[in-house]
Structures are given as C-alpha cells and as structure tokens.
Chains A and B, each alone.
Chain A
Amino acid sequence: MTGRKSWSVVSGGTSRREFIGRAVALGLSAGAAATLFEACAGPSSVGVPGGSPGSAPSDVQLAILYPQSGDIARFGQACLKAAQLAAEDINAAGGIRSLGGAKLKLVVEDITSDATTVRTVVERILTQNKVAAACGSYASALTLVATEVSERAGIPWLTGSIADTLTTRNFKHLFQVSPKASHFGQAQMKFFLETFGARGVPKVAILYENTEYGTTTAKGIRDAAKAAKLEVVLDEAYSARFTDATPLVTKVKNARADVLFPVSYLGDAILLVKGLKQFGVKVAVVGGGAGYLVPEFLQQAGQEGAEGLFSVASWNWDLACKGIDSFASRYKDKNGEFLMEHAGEQYAMTWIAAAAIDKAASADPAKVRDALASLSLNDGDKGAWMPACAIKFDQTGWNEKVHPVMVQWQSGAPRTVWPAADARTKPKI
C-alpha cells in the first residue's frame, strides 16, 4: 500500500495559510454539523400530535405568528400581547375543559415584515412544533404567504387580515374572522353619504399604499364610488415608505377633492395628515384603517390633529358586544394603551381557537379544523367579539356574520360611531 503522509506537527510558526486552512475546514465541519443538527432537531413529519391515543395532552399548542420586527412590528407586537392576555384568561378559566383542563400554550415566532422570510419561518415553526392551530399575521401580504404553508401542512389558520384573495383560493384550513377589504370600501362610502348627506356631488380622492392591503381596500372604495355615481378626481397608489408627503398632498389640493380616502400604514398616515394640515387643504378624511387606528397616530398627529378624523375598522375596543369591556380595560391597564384593532381581533381569535379545540375534544389539527368549520358563536359566548357579535364561518372560511364599523377619534381615543347597532357613541360632524 502506498504510504500515508504523516500528519506532521509543525512546531512554532504555523504558516498563516495552514492556519486558515484548518480554520476553514473546522468552520465547514461546524457548519455541516449545525445544518444536520438543525435538521435533525425537529420532528421529521408534519403536524401529527403526539401522545398515545386515549391520553389527553398536557398542553395544547397554538402558534402565534406576527411580525415582531421591521416596519409593521408595532402592530405585530400588540397582537402578541393580546394573544398572551387571552391565553392567560383561558387558562385561568380552566383551560380546555373537554381535554381535562389542558392548558393552552402559545408558540411564538417573529415572522418579520418581509414576505419572503415569512415562508421559511412559518414552515420551520409548523414542521418543528405540534400545534393544533395557528393565528396571524396582520398584513395581508404576509398572511397570504404564510397560509400557503399552513394549508399544505394541514394546520387550521385564523386571521384578521382583510384581503379578499385570502378566501378565493379554495382553501380548507383558512378562517378569516374579519370583514373583507372590498366591504371596507362599501362601508366607508355608505357611511360618508349617510353622514354628510347630499351636498352636491362630492369629488372623491383615493390614495393607497401599493401592497395587498392598500390595493384591495382601494378597489372596494373605487367600486363603491362608481356605484354611487361619484366623481373620482384622484386615484393613486404610492409606496408606503415615502418620506415626503408634499407631492401627494399637492395632488389632493390640485384635484380639489371634497373627500379623501387614504389607505395607509402608520408612517404614511402621519405624513399625509400632517401634510394636509401644513398645506391647509380642506378635505374630509375617511381613513382606511391600519395607520389611522393606532395610539401612535394620536401621539404624532396630536390630539387636535387626530380629533374628528374618521376611519373604517374591522374591530374596535368599544364594540357593543358582551364581555368586551372586561378584557379591553384589562389590556389597557396592563399595557398602557387602548386595545388596537387587530390586537383585539387576536384576543377574540385565541378564544375562538380554544372553543374549537374544546368542541373537537382534541388537539389534532384536522379535528380542530372541522370544529372551526362548524362552529357557531353568538353574543354572550366567549370569542363572539367581532362586529355583529357572532362568529360563523362559511364554506370559503370567511366569517359571514361580520361587517366593518366606522370609528371616529374623539377625546384621544377612537370610538365606534357606525352602524348604530355596534356603536355606543354618536359621530361628531
């Protein structure tokens, strides 16, 4: 046999090259090891709950998947806090009764504000954890991607995102508790016409951020305006990360619009509202949700800046449903700010998930999915905390009972003012 080279020990002065060579070899091996470790650390199959048949699991896991970083981190963080409060409340009330009082445990992960990272993260979480269901993810763009993964994995997913396209994909595992984006537009238009009456034919301006949320909501507004035979004088998409509102504000001013329907996240909402004020543009503003409903909006626009502003919303902390006051005020006491739109929905969704798990008497995602599909909650039931105070999912997974509401900033908080059945406050014109 040809001889082997002996691994000569180099005394003193290891050449830099050799050192780097060994470091590289070590690094590559470490990387390979980490890769294999990471891969082997999780279960090799998807979603099947553990425990032998007949024994109740001690914890039921619910995945809470929201962006905790990036431009929309703010919203995700609030949703997480709401989920945590709900889980505490559920466990304090006895947990999942039909599973012997099993506790609800949250599996939390930051899916970031970036749509491509979402897919990898969600896939990792759903394949490495046995969850009964999942909730998320605030922005429709993120939810669309995430639910592709959950549908394929057979995990039921609850969401407060509003895009119409969420429920047009023939999915069996998607459950949308909130109104659809197209309904927002109709509601905004209906409210505007009812409240401001017929003062001639108002000129409508629509400005919207160019991703899923803005585009689908704007379409709803556009269609509703056309149906009401109103003149749309400005209809423009913008990139939410703009830093100077002057061009957009100037366009609104030049178009001589009577009413502006802006659909914005937070940063753009602030800049627009401030810009309109700076330029003295006299226009009624009916906000499209999101950025117009957060506490920061009040902080940055100032109480006078925000006062009187209307926005459409899918949820508000003062809806006329039984049981809302309790958790809304506890959230406020605990976190120092009012319970925001999507966060409130997440509180409700946590309870809805628990109700489904209870009904299914199982943490098996397939059984939980069936339970959700046949679930029916009414005013007074735990979880029935969306507008109309009822939950019933249709075949596409949409909560057919729900509708949008209009809120108005009054005295430093957004208050529900329309429709009358959901409101406790009157609108101030």
Chain B
Amino acid sequence: MRALTPRAYLPGLALLLVVAIPLVTADAVLLNILILIFLFATLGGAWNILGGYGGQLSLGHATYFGLGAYGSTLLLVDFGISPWLGALAGAAAAMALSLVLGLSCFRLRGPYFAIATIGVAEIMRLVVIDLPDVTQGARGVTLPFVGQSWALLQFRGKTEYYYLALGLMLATVAATVLVARSALGYRLRAIGQSEDAAGALGHDPAWTKQMANFVSAFFTAIAGTFYAQYFYYIEPNTVFGISLSIQIALVAIIGGVGTVWGPVLGAFILQSVAQLTQVFLGSSRFGGLQLLVYGVLLVAVILVQPRGVIGLARRVYGAACGRLPRWSRG
C-alpha cells in the first residue's frame, strides 16, 4: 500500500512550479528577482560546502567570484573565447587560489582564517584596480552585447538566464548532497568533532578540507561568470568587494549553515528583504535599509537560532504537510 503524502508530492510540485514560471509569464522584474535568488543560493550553497561542512569560515569568498567573472570576461573581450570555456578557466584559477589559501591558512583558528581570507580578497581587488592595462582597472569591463547567442552566452530575454541560474543552483544543491552524504562528508564531520582524532584515522584532514575548498571555489567562480554574462558589466569593487563576501556568508548562515536547503532558503529571505525595502523606500536610501535588515537578521539568527532559519522552516513545513491532503492506494 503506497501513500502519496505531502512530503512526497510537494517537492515535485514546487519543482514543477519553478520550472514553469518563465513559460507562464514574461514579467522581467519577477524573473530578475528569481534569477538573483538562484544566483545567491548558488553562492551561499558553495560557501556552505566549505563553511558549513568544512568548518572553515571564509569572509573573502568574493575572490573566487571575481576570478570567475574577470577570468571569463577578459578571455571573451580580449581573445573572443566563449564564456563556456572561460567559465572553466575562471573556475580553474579559483581552485588554484583555493589550494594556495588552504595550504597556507587552514591551520589558522576561526577568526584568523577569516581575517586571512579578507586579506586575500582585498589584495585581489587592489591588484585588479592597479593593473589597468590587463584588467581595465577601476573602470571595469563592459561586455559587448552582440545579440542572442548560446555560444556567447548572451540572450535578449530573461528566460534562458532563468534556466541557467536554476540549473546552477540545483547543481550546487546536488554537490552539497554529494559532499554531505559521501565519504568526504563523513570525514569532514569527523574533523569537525576532533581534527586530531580524524587524523589518527589515517585520512589527512588538510586534504579533506581542501576537497571541500575546491568544490566551493568551483561553484563560486562559475556563478561569477554567470553574473558577468547577465549584468554585462563588472568592476573590481563589486565583484571582489568585502560587502559581497559578507552577503555570501549571510545567505548560508541565515538560511541554515551545514544544511542542504539552508542557503536556498537564505537566498529567498534576503531577496525578499531587498524587494520589500525597494518597495517602501526609494533607491537612495533603500540600500542602507536593506543591508541594515540583513545585519539585524544576522545578529538575531546568531543569538536566537545559530543553526539558521531552516530549523523553524522545517517545523512549519512539517506542520503544513500534516494539514494537507494525502492519498493512499488500497
């Protein structure tokens, strides 16, 4: 006897809904909001792999984002290389940097690792600004729009971007699941309990964390390429900025660090805040209010529910499932 419970059919319905939205509406503003949610869910999810599961709290993840964005964009603008390839190049650069960072800094205690990541991101930002012959410096790089093209990853409408962003987010979620439930995830949890004991089991804790670091850097850089291809303009203070690094971490922490769906929830919450503030205040002050609420949310989460909102969300979800209809055969 099989029962079609809400817990079984709700996720399917949700996926169907999300996939169907662009087919039902061409509303540019709504699609843009969802694309941003998917983008930040990807970024938060990638951060979460290193921070939530790997236990290394980075405040400099924008470095990988910027490397992805600048890597693919400069290759495109200077050499005409397709962003699909450029994305891989950017991701490779990000992973290489993550190796350097891991080798030198993983043994640092929490706050000092965080400070080191800030230092790395700031250096990248400043170097990009101060090498204008290579990177166009503080002027930023504009991507030329040549028309609808899958090869060049450029589209007139939002639909293609929507599905790409959705796909990227789902890939990050899948990667998180893989990391969490694999031997790698088991080893990471062991390290979380006691790094020495984990080492005694025969696996090198540093290398285990580095694997998580690679995955994290990879997805963050790919998101950077997407950003460049969607916004058509990148500049160092945004893509390498400490503000972005903090927002990336916020998505995971507010949503639920160390969980699979936490970052997705976090991205949804933060974008909702962003839209609410835009509705109620003009652009000139909304940036301040939006970020202020982010800060308040972060402090509130840390004090009340450090594991993130996902726990409460699960309870609400569970309660909702209890009230929705279910069918059984037989």
Interface residue tally on A, bucketed by range: 35 or more
Please report the C-alpha to C-alpha distance between residue A4 and residue B30 in the assembled complex, in whole angstroms. Answer: 35
- Nearest CB of chain A from residue B10's CB, rounded to whole Å: 15
Chain B residues lying within 8 Å of A215, measured Cβ to Cβ, are 132, 137, 139
> Can you offer 20 A-B residue contacts whose CB atoms are under 8 A?
A5-B319, A28-B269, A30-B276, A31-B273, A31-B275, A31-B276, A69-B284, A112-B287, A116-B231, A116-B233, A119-B231, A119-B233, A124-B29, A128-B29, A145-B232, A148-B145, A165-B142, A210-B132, A215-B132, A237-B137
- Nearest CB of chain A from residue B28's CB, rounded to whole Å: 5
- Nearest CB of chain B from residue A165's CB, rounded to whole Å: 8
Chain B residues lying within 8 Å of A121, measured Cβ to Cβ, are 283
B27 and A44 contact, CB distance less than 8 A: yes
Please report the C-alpha to C-alpha distance between residue A22 and residue B326 in the assembled complex, in whole angstroms. Answer: 24
Chain B residues lying within 8 Å of A237, measured Cβ to Cβ, are 132, 137
Select A24's contact among B129, B273, B312, beta carbons within 8 Å: B312
Please report the C-alpha to C-alpha distance between residue A30 and residue B275 in the assembled complex, in whole angstroms. Answer: 11
Majority secondary structure, A binding face: helix
B315 is an interface residue with CB less than 8 A from chain A = yes
Chain A residues lying within 8 Å of B140, measured Cβ to Cβ, are 115, 141
Majority secondary structure, B binding face: helix
A32 is an interface residue with CB less than 8 A from chain B = yes
Please report the C-alpha to C-alpha distance between residue A38 and residue B30 in the assembled complex, in whole angstroms. Answer: 8
Given contacts A35-B33, A117-B283, contact A148 B142 (CB under 8 A): yes
- Nearest CB of chain B from residue A19's CB, rounded to whole Å: 10
A44 and B282 contact, CB distance less than 8 A: no
B139 and A28 contact, CB distance less than 8 A: no
Closest residue to A109 on the B side, CB-wise?
A: B283
Select A4's contact among B25, B33, B232, B323, beta carbons within 8 Å: B323
Please report the C-alpha to C-alpha distance between residue A128 and residue B30 in the assembled complex, in whole angstroms. Answer: 12
B156 and A152 contact, CB distance less than 8 A: yes
Select A148's contact among B233, B238, B275, B325, beta carbons within 8 Å: B233
Closest residue to B138 on the A side, CB-wise?
A: A210
- Nearest CB of chain A from residue B182's CB, rounded to whole Å: 31
A25 and B316 contact, CB distance less than 8 A: yes
B275 and A35 contact, CB distance less than 8 A: yes
Interface residues of B in 92-143 (CB under 8 A from A): 129, 132, 137-140, 142
- Nearest CB of chain A from residue B26's CB, rounded to whole Å: 6
Closest residue to A67 on the B side, CB-wise?
A: B284
B159 is an interface residue with CB less than 8 A from chain A = no
A35 and B272 contact, CB distance less than 8 A: yes
A396 is an interface residue with CB less than 8 A from chain B = no
Given contacts A38-B275, A42-B29, A215-B137, contact A21 B312 (CB under 8 A): yes
Chain A residues lying within 8 Å of B27, measured Cβ to Cβ, are 39-40, 42, 44
B269 and A31 contact, CB distance less than 8 A: yes
Select B305's contact among A20, A31, A148, beta carbons within 8 Å: A20
- Nearest CB of chain B from residue A177's CB, rounded to whole Å: 21
Interface residues of A in 77-106 (CB under 8 A from B): none
Select A115's contact among B132, B238, B319, beta carbons within 8 Å: B238
B309 and A24 contact, CB distance less than 8 A: yes
Given contacts A31-B272, A119-B233, A211-B138, contact A127 B316 (CB under 8 A): no
B33 and A39 contact, CB distance less than 8 A: yes
Task: Mark each residue of chain A from 28 to 56: 1 if its CB lies under 8 Å from any CB of chain B, else 0.
Answer: 10111011111110101110000000000
Select B282's contact among A34, A109, A152, A210, beta carbons within 8 Å: A109
A239 is an interface residue with CB less than 8 A from chain B = yes
Return the 3 tightest CB-CB contacts between A and B, nearest first: A31-B272, A39-B30, A110-B284
- Nearest CB of chain B from residue A246's CB, rounded to whole Å: 20
A2 is an interface residue with CB less than 8 A from chain B = yes
Given contacts A123-B32, A148-B233, contact A21 B279 (CB under 8 A): no
Please report the C-alpha to C-alpha distance between residue A27 and residue B325 in the assembled complex, in whole angstroms. Answer: 25
List the interface of chain A (C-beta within 8 A of B). Answer: 1-2, 4-5, 7, 17, 20-22, 24-25, 27-28, 30-32, 34-40, 42, 44-46, 68-69, 109-112, 114-117, 119-121, 123-124, 127-128, 141, 144-145, 148, 151-152, 165, 169, 210-212, 215, 237, 239
B282 and A110 contact, CB distance less than 8 A: yes
A210 and B284 contact, CB distance less than 8 A: no
Please report the C-alpha to C-alpha distance between residue A316 and residue B276 in the assembled complex, in whole angstroms. Answer: 42
Chain B residues lying within 8 Å of A2, measured Cβ to Cβ, are 3, 326, 328
Given contacts A28-B269, A215-B137, contact A112 B129 (CB under 8 A): no
The interface size of chain B toward A, counting residues with CB under 8 Å, comes to 51
B80 is an interface residue with CB less than 8 A from chain A = no
A36 and B233 contact, CB distance less than 8 A: no
Given contacts A148-B145, A211-B138, contact A239 B283 (CB under 8 A): no
Given contacts A31-B275, A110-B283, contact A38 B29 (CB under 8 A): yes
A123 and B313 contact, CB distance less than 8 A: no
Chain A residues lying within 8 Å of B232, measured Cβ to Cβ, are 119, 145, 148
Select B139's contact among A4, A42, A123, A210, beta carbons within 8 Å: A210
- Nearest CB of chain A from residue B139's CB, rounded to whole Å: 5
Interface residues of B in 245-275 (CB under 8 A from A): 268-269, 271-273, 275
- Nearest CB of chain B from residue A343's CB, rounded to whole Å: 19
A5 and B323 contact, CB distance less than 8 A: yes
B279 and A111 contact, CB distance less than 8 A: no
B322 is an interface residue with CB less than 8 A from chain A = yes
Chain B residues lying within 8 Å of A115, measured Cβ to Cβ, are 140, 233, 235, 238
B296 is an interface residue with CB less than 8 A from chain A = no
B15 is an interface residue with CB less than 8 A from chain A = no
Please report the C-alpha to C-alpha distance between residue A127 and residue B268 in the assembled complex, in whole angstroms. Answer: 23
- Centre residue among B284, B325, B326 by max chain A CB count within 10 A: B284
Chain A residues lying within 8 Å of B325, measured Cβ to Cβ, are 1
Chain A residues lying within 8 Å of B144, measured Cβ to Cβ, are 169
B304 is an interface residue with CB less than 8 A from chain A = yes
Please report the C-alpha to C-alpha distance between residue A126 and residue B282 in the assembled complex, in whole angstroms. Answer: 15
Closest residue to A115 on the B side, CB-wise?
A: B235
Closest residue to A240 on the B side, CB-wise?
A: B138
B233 and A145 contact, CB distance less than 8 A: yes
Chain A residues lying within 8 Å of B82, measured Cβ to Cβ, are none
Please report the C-alpha to C-alpha distance between residue A239 and residue B272 in the assembled complex, in whole angstroms. Answer: 35
A38 and B313 contact, CB distance less than 8 A: no
**What would 15 more interface pairs be, CB under 8 Å, given A39-B30, A148-B145, A210-B132?**
A4-B322, A5-B319, A5-B322, A21-B316, A34-B279, A39-B27, A44-B27, A45-B26, A116-B235, A119-B231, A127-B29, A141-B139, A148-B232, A215-B137, A237-B137
A35 and B305 contact, CB distance less than 8 A: no
Interface residues of B in 275-289 (CB under 8 A from A): 275-276, 278-279, 282-285, 287
A38 and B145 contact, CB distance less than 8 A: no
Please report the C-alpha to C-alpha distance between residue A116 and residue B39 in the assembled complex, in whole angstroms. Answer: 15
Select A36's contact among B30, B129, B283, B312, beta carbons within 8 Å: B30
Please report the C-alpha to C-alpha distance between residue A239 and residue B156 in the assembled complex, in whole angstroms. Answer: 35
